[in-house]
A = this chain, B = another copy of it.
Amino acid sequence: MLTRDGCEERRRRLWRHVPESYSWVLIGDPRHVQYFCNFRVNPISFSAEQRPLLLLTRDGQSALMADNFTTRTTKETVFADHEIVVPWYTHRKSVTNRDHALVVALNDIRALWDGEPGLTDTDSSSTTSRDRPRCGLVESEGVSQLVAAAVADYSEPVFEDHAARARTLGDVIRYLRRTKLPDEADILRRCMRACEAGHAAAFDCVRAGVSEFEVYLHVQRAAEAAAGVPCVVYGDFRANNPAEPKAGGLPTDYQMQPGDLFILDYSVVIHGYRSDFTNTLAVGDPSDDQVRLFEACHDALQASEAVLGNGVSCRKVYDTASEVLEDRGFGKLAHHAGHGLGLEHPEPPTLVPESTDRLMTGDVVTLEPGSYQSGIGGVRLEHNYLISDAGAERLSQHDLRLTAGG
């Protein structure tokens, strides 16, 4: 999963973007806790909705805080100097409000944030909190009011630096997240392999008489089997047809009919990171128009892939894909040409007509031209890429084909 080197490099990047007046940060968004120390509450566990806290200091200390049932949900190595595990539930006594455990944890490491020099050093002659007021920065989007109140006298929720484009710690971290380090790319590659297995399996089951939900079960199983671990599989598992060419979301019990097109656009999430790629399958023999539409999307994908690279305007990538569709008589691309991929969906950069983003080395993006034509049906095709100075590495290797043989 995430590595010690990766977590340490992400922290160094963080401190370069936090104004120098702050000597510690308190992080509460579970994605961001993971990003900096590799602790993630497994969503396929009994603690899916509980939240941890991470305190980082500019001088290199780190403390993970959570209740004992939340920390139990992962076996991954945590890269933190201190792990403050509050014994919320001991199998002996009645429990109190679980969310309040984080306040207890914060008090346990008070010396890290109230201005005392060391965790255990309580020498009264040392620097007091009054000498260094408000030297902390709290991730105000991810830390609860209750937790923030515990450190309120020592911290700020927003920057005072008006020149910065970022005003909150969340802004900074979301910016940093665009650039995937090698350990993140490695997890993304695992997601890709699992997602490819699901796409390959789809050719076995997309046919007349099978329900969308059955396709989901089949694809999910193939993807998880390839991943080798329980993981979240989500996306669009929907059939469309010439009369209703646009459909998205989770599967229904609709049984496919000849002439339908099935857009399989799904993600495999491993340790928070996700693949996101698409193929469109024909139910029975595709019509000539469906083949033409598929080829147009395929060419749009290839054309936009060819322009990817560090510094390229995201608007240009959109325009490139859209123009191919328009040239073929299918009109402009009616949704994004793609978006960033990582701990969230979607995330920057956005490959859209009025985007002000530019691709950067380290971005992982998806390209997904699609077209939904009354009288024909809907087609979408998608690959994932890691942006580099030289161009882009295609991360997904699934087959783009309307039928198993075609």
The answer to whether A149 touches B140, judged by C-beta atoms less than 8 angstroms apart, is yes
Q: In chain A between 85 and 102, which residues have their CB closer than 8 angstroms to a CB of chain B?
A: 89, 91-95, 97-100
A157 located at the interface, meaning its Cβ lies under 8 Å from any Cβ of chain B in the complex: yes
Judge if A284 is at the interface, Cβ distance under 8 Å.
no
Find out whether the CB atom of A348 lies under 8 angstroms from the CB atom of B95: yes
Contact B217 A168 (CB under 8 A): no
Contact A232–B48 (Cβ < 8 Å): yes
A170 close to chain B: CB less than 8 A: yes
A395 located at the interface, meaning its Cβ lies under 8 Å from any Cβ of chain B in the complex: no
Which of A201-209, A247-255, A285-293, A383-391 touches B?
A247-255
**Are B140 and A353 in contact, CB atoms less than 8 angstroms apart?**
no
Does chain B have a CB within 8 A of A71?
A: no
Most chain B C-beta atoms within 10 Å of own C-beta, residue among A48, A142, A249? A48
Residue from the list B91, B149, B217, B253 in contact with A224, Cβ < 8 A: B217
Closest residue of B by beta carbon distance from A346: B89
**Most chain B CB atoms below 10 A, which of A46, A216, A220:** A46
Contact with B along A312-350 (1 / 0, CB 8 A): 001000000000000000000001100000001110111
A141 touches B233 (CB 8 A): no
| Cβ proximity bits A153-196 to B, threshold 8 Å, 1 near / 0 not | 00001000000000010110010000000000000000000000
Q: In this assembly, does A148 line the interface, its C-beta being within 8 Å of a C-beta of chain B? A: yes
* Residues of the B chain whose Cβ atoms lie less than 8 Å from the Cβ of A171: 97
User: Does A357 count as interface, using CB distance less than 8 angstroms?
Assistant: yes
| B-contact 0/1 string along A270-303, CB 8 Å cutoff | 0000000000000000000000000000000000
| Contact A144-B144, Cβ < 8 Å, known A45-B250, A93-B350, A97-B174 | yes
Asked if A234 and B350 make an inter-chain contact with CB atoms under 8 angstroms apart, the answer reads no
Q: Does A221 contact B (CB under 8 A)?
A: yes
Does A228 contact B250, Cβ atoms closer than 8 Å?
no
Contact: A142 with B144, CB < 8 Å?
yes
Q: List 27 A-B pairs, Cβ < 8 Å.
A: A28-B144, A30-B49, A31-B49, A45-B234, A45-B250, A48-B232, A75-B249, A93-B354, A94-B314, A95-B346, A95-B348, A97-B168, A99-B141, A99-B142, A99-B170, A138-B145, A141-B144, A141-B145, A141-B146, A143-B145, A146-B168, A213-B229, A216-B230, A217-B224, A220-B224, A229-B250, A230-B233
User: Which 8 A-B pairs have CB atoms at the shortest separation, nearest pair first?
Assistant: A99-B141, A46-B345, A145-B148, A140-B146, A140-B145, A44-B234, A93-B354, A91-B336
Apart from A95-B348, A220-B230, A230-B250: 16 A-B pairs, beta carbons within 8 A: A44-B233, A93-B350, A94-B349, A94-B354, A95-B346, A97-B141, A97-B168, A99-B141, A138-B145, A140-B145, A140-B146, A141-B146, A144-B145, A145-B148, A217-B224, A230-B251
Query: Which positions in A face B, CB cutoff 8 Å?
Result: 28-31, 42-49, 69, 75, 89, 91-95, 97-100, 138, 140-149, 157, 168, 170-171, 174, 213, 216-217, 220-221, 224-225, 228-230, 232-235, 249-251, 253, 267, 314, 335-336, 344-346, 348-350, 352-357
